[in-house]
Structure 1
């Protein structure tokens, strides 16, 4: 039965160069838990949210993480890096295998507009295979609010979704509910690792394929270790969540053609919502 051990590092970080802090934490967790196969770190953990750190990929920073993965023989998802590609900047997540090779890069599809300015939208879904274990997919923070992202990854065969996050706002409680829902309706593991300290409010969550909460972290430093049981995912998808709803098979067999995915995302109702912009102060009097 293929099982795969994952360690999520909820690190207390500041808005600065955190590379060697992350390096030291990875080394500590591998020494303490030598059975861990993959280490996952939160979104934009290396430098924080400043797009001024954007670099073309591959970069020296990414190469550093590749050496770290190879040194310890682990899969490494080192959070995201701002990637410069011509005139555009993407929030990009590299996935590194135990040989120190980048096997995938995922560009965040849904930057946190209208607040996250200067970042372009990725367009490609990303899954990758862990040999003799199973298939994983990746998404980033605000992507999780859009059920189409996780459903598409499950449609592509992903059994575990790795989801680095950088949330420091009061909607974190909603994100916990969304993470659990994504796991339940797609019958997959959903591994949402947030940052802590000055960059985030923690409360990382790991959910299982039956919608169960495996662990919900507090607001400070935590190392979250668990084993993803791929046979449990397959059994849940085959027999149904708790022996009940076989959601993915019902989705597969449904004759319904969903209009938003055929006719485009917009509609007269959505057009009435107006522009995507930061709300103004309704009580502020206009200047004369």
Structure 2
């Protein structure tokens, strides 16, 4: 058995003032109640909230304070994320990983800002993988990143066993995210810790899922701190023998015969995607996507090859 105790902290996040002291206070409470905790994960943009007007340069005094907390308690600490302001004016949504010695050992910028709503936020391009000595390999993604399985595929193909996913979702698609968290755990045979905030930080419903898609914990819509002891040997056993002795998905992907031309941007395999229009915020009464569309034209197929494809007619979808 390789046990490791990770605590998620779901807390109220203010948009117009700093939440840093409230976060540090909750670390104090957590460690007083559950001193066996070894890693602490906060929600996306917890320190300063969802407004990029509070973007900070890195490093900064707030990170130094969190480094002191990690060292004082001997814990791994991921203090959510903050908007990072670069010298050239670009803004990234960035998280750091702090080890028990108080050192920043990894840094990650969100690859998929929630566009078009997060217009003006730049995309990161580097993956975040770090090892906890004598425990296992961890990976970090931020919120919307988990909607793109390619991100988790990249991490788990390099041995990541636990996916840490700080979230800020205050919208009606949180239930969809919960389904994605479970599917991600099963598809990639890993633990998933998806920690959401409250108020300006989200609608809560943080979730912890094991590699068989079993929900180990799900928060409601109130403040919550939830230390969960996981067993990394469960990941290794399942990756070797399959989910409940059944699907060995990572090995099946490794041994695949198919290649996926969609990932070659010059292949033309994504012709349909180019018909979907620009990535913009819908307007009132928008009829985007309901016009008559002939999928044969979109896919570049000829009349004969597409004869079995139904035509889409207006809003009703009748043939």
TM-score bracket, normalised by the shorter chain, equals over 0.9
What is the Cα deviation at residue 265 of structure 1? 9.2
Compared CA separation, residues 253 and 30, structure 1 to 2 (3 A): same
Partner of 2:44 in structure 1? 43
Change (3 A) 1:220 1:92: same
Change (3 A) 1:186 1:231: same
The structure with higher relative contact order (CA 8 Å, sep 6+) is 1
Number of residue pairs aligned between Structure 1 and Structure 2: 284
Partner of 1:141: 143
Separation in structure 2 between the aligned mates of residue 155 and residue 238 of structure 1, nearest angstrom: 14
2:285 equivalent in structure 1:
282
Is the 2:238–2:244 Cα contact (8 Å) retained in structure 1? Answer: yes
Between the aligned partners of 1:71 and 1:53, the Cα distance in structure 2 is 27
What is the deviation of 1:282? Answer: 2.0
SS in 2 for 1:263: coil
Q: 1:225 aligns with which of 224, 227, 230?
A: 227
Structure 2 distance, partners of 1:283, 1:205, is: 34
**Could you tell me which residue of structure 1 aligns to residue 4 of structure 2?**
4
Q: In 1, Cα distance between the equivalents of 2:262 and 2:89?
A: 31
C-alpha separation between the residues in 2 aligned to 1:283 and 1:133? Answer: 51
Aligned to 2:106: 104
User: Higher Cα Rg: structure 1 or 2?
Assistant: 2
Q: 1:264 to 1:188 in 2, by over 3 A?
A: farther
Alpha-carbon distance between aligned partners in 1 of 2:267 and 2:143, rounded to the nearest angstrom: 21
2:250 is aligned to: 248
User: Residue 14 of structure 1: CA displacement?
Assistant: 1.7
SS of aligned partner of 2:83: strand
- Rounded to whole Å, the distance in 2 between the matches of 1:263 and 1:14 is 41
What is the CA-CA distance between 1:283 and the residue it aligns to? Answer: 6.9
Q: Is 1:269–2:242 an aligned residue pair? A: no
Q: Is the 8 A contact 2:80 2:166 kept in 1?
A: yes
TM-score (norm 2): 0.87
